[in-house]
Amino acid sequence: MKELSHWINGEHVKGTSGRFADVFNPATGEVQSKCPMASAAETEAAIANAAAAQVEWGATNPQKRARVMMAMVGLMNRDMDKLAEALSREHGKTLPDAKGDLQRGLEVIEYCIGAPQMLKGEFTDSAGPGIDMYSMRQPLGVVAAIMPFNFPAMMPLWHVGPALACGNAVVLKPSERDPSVPLMLAELFVEAGLPKGVFQVVNGDKEAVDTLLDSETIQGVSFVGSTPIAHYIYSRATANGKRAQCFGGAKNHMIVMPDADMDQAADALVGAGFGAAGERCMAVSVAVPVGDATADKLIEKLVPRIEKLRVAPYTDGNDVDFGPVVTGEAKKRILGLINSGVEQGAELVVDNRDFSLQGYENGFFVGPHLFDKVTKDMDIYKTEIFGPVLSVVRAKTYEEAIGLAMDHEYGNGTAIFTRDGDTARDFAHRINIGMVGINVPIPVPLAYHTFGGWKKSMFGDLNQHGPDSFKFYTRTKTVTARWPSGIKEGGEFNFKAMD
């Protein structure tokens, strides 16, 4: 059985706590490796190591730090196939999905090449008599990134890249479910020229997380995961005086207006609802057609598309639509919610509860499911399922449809499909949700904009990547300077004037 490691001071370090988490092959259900769970002492040692390395890195000029990012882009492109295969093997997502995971993370590293521009301060000449005023952006010091299982490359890169580009040292706590790719990325950062110790990877569970949250050395914490844990981490981190950005759950609605292109809407819903087995915070899990006629047309378009979806392991090639979910526990939870939907009166139009794949009967596969006539009091509507389940909630009017999205406790992403510009504009302006798509089902901003939800989908003031990331990982210092003149008439320097 392969035993994984931590990454400390630029090298793999064996865990010493004696505690391990199983890392599964989701397609077969077999344990493929053991991930060490760091003790508080191991985590504290990583933090101390990072603090020692950060001093020199923080003093390195932004241009040199940007060159590390530039080299990292080349190395990731060189190793893309190897990284994608390792990601798919532990997570279960298809190879195209794995490469998409890596690509969206890579785009943030590309954005970080512009760190010198992003870190420029401001200058005011002659703010007063002989007085100049200027500001500078300086790193926080040592920061922590606590990342989820569903995007084991993209999410760490979204946080680690900007943090490093700003001159911080980073202690990453990746998900114990798929930790290999973060370790591989750590190797690549050192190869790209990052000094050893500036980036640490500590595998672990709550013991490691709480150590990071309570450490006086850690100045900032970034988290992505479920809302209850996001709230816990935000509360504990800020109580300890840390800067924190914590991103939680989602229940993303896609409103389909009567004038929408139904083929386009159906294709969008299938891709957004079932891609990556629904294990993404921007998945569309609720379709809201306006009017029964619209709903009937939409269901008619959806059913054959969903029934044609191919569910298989990533090793079956690029024509696989999605693979297994990440663990047996996740599968059990998803099927339990599907059963609750049936019990609470929703109409299960596409039922794959008995889905089984020959040769992979012990794998964590969940077939695609489609519910119709879901109501907002049902568990499948209120809960983030995080699986291949799409619910249709029928609305009589546009106002009722937009009200569903606005009243839900989550506010991560939403979309509307319509040909009417006035309706689309009204939707974009009124909706109380952080990311909005107009005829775009998954409105994930590119790296040079920021990513983040509203309401219980996000705790903190600054979002992920884009300009907000450089604000989050730096502090602004403002200097007011006055230099008294020491020059006499005739050009002789008066040293006494400087006393």
Among 35, 166, 246, 281, the one annotated catalytic: 281
To the nearest 10°, the Cα dihedral for 174, 177, 181, 185?
10
Name the phi and psi angles at 309, rounded to 5: -60, 135
Residue at token pair 């590293």: 109
How many Å apart are CA 96 and CA 117, to the nearest integer?
33
Q: Dihedral sign for Cα 173, 174, 177, 183, please.
A: negative
Contacts of 8 (CB under 8 A, 6+ apart): 45, 46, 49, 200, 201, 202
**Helices 292-307 and 262-274, axial angle in degrees (round to 10):** 50
How many Å apart are CA 343 and CA 345, to the nearest integer?
6
**Residue 470 near residue 166, CB atoms below 8 Å:** yes
Eight-class DSSP state of 308: T
The C-alpha angle with vertex 438 and arms to 446 and 368, in degrees rounded to 5, equals 85
Name the phi and psi angles at 413, rounded to 5: -140, 160
Q: Dihedral sign for Cα 276, 281, 283, 286, please.
A: positive
Instruction: Output the six-digit token pair for 204.
Output: 């672990």
**112 in catalytic set:** no
Distances in Å between the Cα of 448 and the Cα atoms of 110, 306, 451, 460, 465 are 10, 34, 10, 20, 7
**Residue 401 near residue 67, CB atoms below 8 Å:** no
Q: Which amino acid is at 200?
A: Q
In angstroms, how far is CA 132 from the centroid of its own chain?
41
User: What SS3 state is found at 184?
Assistant: helix
How many Å apart are CA 323 and CA 321, to the nearest integer?
7
Active site residues: 281
